[in-house]
Structure 1
Amino acid sequence: MEETEIIAGCIKNDTNVQRYLFDMHYRRTFHVAMRYLSNYHDTEDVLSISYTRIFKNIGNFDYRGEGSLQKWINTVVINESIRFLKSKKALVFQEDETILTLNASLEVNSDFIDAEEVYQLLEAMPKGYRTVFNLFAIEGYSHKEIGEILQINENTSKSQLSKARNYMILKLKKSSHALK
């Protein structure tokens, strides 16, 4: 089914087409939300709200070619994830002196790094670091855009990203030493 047909069916509230869209995007959007929330139940709650919002507002969606629907759905899920974190007052941008003093050029033996380890480190990362890291490194937003989304100063976004990177380097370095 073409994206334009999916959009038209959802606008008409065709439950079969809505289910098709949900099934087609659920797995990816689950992973997107999970990167921000790191909790299965919170992720399910956010996705429920997200898809309700998607179906309610799809008539306002401006189709701009193949892939634009997926990008819009991701944006809704990201925004709902951030809204959820803010509502729980879980989005804290913190100062951690041990990480601030870390030398970012630490050598990490990449032979011992696997995707699961990186994912676990992302989940354990403080929420402020993780949110900025996800928005910048994974979603591709600029620091200015992140500042607008999170309602923080652009320099705070840059600082949180730097701390997130240093956090990852420190944890990966500790992990690689443990394997030796």
Structure 2
Amino acid sequence: MEIKEVIKHCKSGNQIAQGVLFNLHYQQMYNLSMRILSNHHDVEDALIISFTKVFNSIQQFEYRGDNSLKKWIKTIVINESIRHLNTKNKIRYNESLLEYETNTDYAADIIDIDIEQAFFIIEALPAGYRMVFNLFAIEGYSHKEIAELLNISESTSKSQLRKARMNIIERINKAKKNGN
């Protein structure tokens, strides 16, 4: 079944089509929400609310090409994941931009990190760092877009990204030093 057809049936309330839509996007949206929330139970809660919002407001959705539906759902999931974090008061932003001593030789060390280690390191970041890092580095949002999404200044977004990067580098170096 084509995506346009699935959307049409979802708009008419067809639960089978809703199941198809859910199954098509669940895993990717789960991974997206997990990068923000870093807790399986919180992710499940956020996804239930997100997909409920998708199905309740699909009448207003306007198809504009193959990626339009995915982008729309992704926006809902990101917003709901952020809302979920905010309700738990887990996000703290430090607006001061501390100067870090940067070492440009760290790239060689990063090459040896496997994807599971990288995911673990990113998941262990404080919520503010993790969210900005994921939105910028993985989802491709600009600092302006992140600032609007999180209701922070662009400089805070930049500061959080820089601190996240430095934190990641420190953790990689520590793991290398410990032989992990």
TM-score normalised to the size of structure 1? Answer: 0.93
In the alignment, structure 2 segments of 5+ residues that lack a partner are: none
Q: Assess, with a 3 A threshold, how the Cα gap between structure 1 residues 21 and 158 changes in structure 2: closer, same or farther.
A: same
Instruction: Quote how far apart the aligned CAs of 1:63 are.
Output: 1.2
Confirm whether residue 128 of structure 1 aligns to residue 119 of structure 2.
no
1:151-175 Cα offsets, whole Å, 9 max, x none, are 1001100110011111111111111
Distance 2:13 2:64 in 1: 21
Give per-residue Cα distances to partners, 1:23-77, cap 9 Å, x unaligned: 1111111111100011010000000000000001111112110121111111111
Contact 1:100 1:163 survives alignment (8 Å) = no
Query: How far apart, in 1, do the equivalents of 2:44 and 2:103 lie?
Result: 36
Unaligned runs of at least 5 residues, structure 1: none
Please provide the CA RMSD for this pair. Answer: 1.9
CA distance in 2, matches of 1:125, 1:100: 19
Q: Which residue of 2 aligns with 1:92?
A: 92
Partner of residue 139, structure 2: 139
Report the identity percentage: 47
Give the TM-score normalised by structure 2.
Answer: 0.93
**What is the CA–CA distance in structure 2 between the aligned matches of 1:104 and 1:162, rounded to whole Å?**
13
Taking structure 1 as reference, are residues 51 and 163 closer, same or farther at Cα in structure 2, changes over 3 Å only?
same
C-alpha change, 1:13 and 1:104, in structure 2 (3 Å) is farther
- Number of aligned residue pairs: 179
2:7 equivalent in structure 1: 7
Superposed, 1:31-110 pairs within 5 Å as 31-94=31-94, 101-107=100-106, 108-110=108-110
Give me the whole-angstrom Cα distance separating, in 2, the residues matched to 1:93 and 1:158.
11
* Distance across 1 between alignment mates of 2:81 and 2:74: 10
